[in-house]
Amino acid sequence: MNETPSERYRQGMATRRAVLGDAHVDRAAAISTEFDRPFQELITEAAWGHVWSRPVLTKRERSIVTIALLAALGQDDEVAMHVRATANTGATREDICEALLHVAIYAGVPAANHAIKIAKQTFAHMDAEKAA
């Protein structure tokens, strides 16, 4: 960011770090280039500062909604990232299972089936990291 970050950006960065974790955000910043830096600034301010920082829904609720939407859209990498973020948002595995059942009914069984596979793999990685 070439100028002083806005308050919305600062709030977005705090929320982004709270949800995704410092390691993830630091990795994204480390690989950011001139080309994608405007995009990183946009998502930090808009997605994380404007939407995720709103007080109406909890981070747990936003996490559940986000995973369902990403699953319905077939955004595999983002599904995995947000499943991993449940460690920080308080969304449980049961919550994610319920959300993916909704995906099956409203967006299609193949989308839910694939997202369930991704969630299971991500939870297995999280469990292995925790055990190590």
| DSSP secondary structure of 65-89 | HHHHHHHHHT-HHHHHHHHHHHHHH
Residue 4 DSSP class: P
Tell whether the model's pLDDT for residue 1 goes beyond 80.
no
From 16, 32, 56, give the residue that closes a domain: 56
Range of the domain at 9: 1-56
Q: Within this chain, do residues 10 and 63 fall inside the same structural domain, yes or no?
A: no
Residue 98, CA distances (Å) to 32, 48, 68, 78 in order: 35, 24, 9, 18
Tell whether the model's pLDDT for residue 10 goes beyond 90.
yes
Are the beta carbons of 103 and 68 closer than 8 angstroms? yes
Its pTM stands at: 0.93
Q: Within this chain, do residues 39 and 79 fall inside the same structural domain, yes or no?
A: no
Summarised one tens digit per residue, pLDDT across range 102-113 is 999 999 999 999
Q: Within this chain, do residues 18 and 77 fall inside the same structural domain, yes or no?
A: no
Summarised one tens digit per residue, pLDDT across range 38-85 is 999 999 999 999 999 999 999 999 999 999 999 999 999 999 999 999
Q: Within this chain, do residues 66 and 116 fall inside the same structural domain, yes or no?
A: yes
Q: If pLDDT is split at 50, 70 and 90, which confidence band does 2 have?
A: low
Average pLDDT score, the chain = 96
Are the beta carbons of 79 and 40 closer than 8 angstroms? no
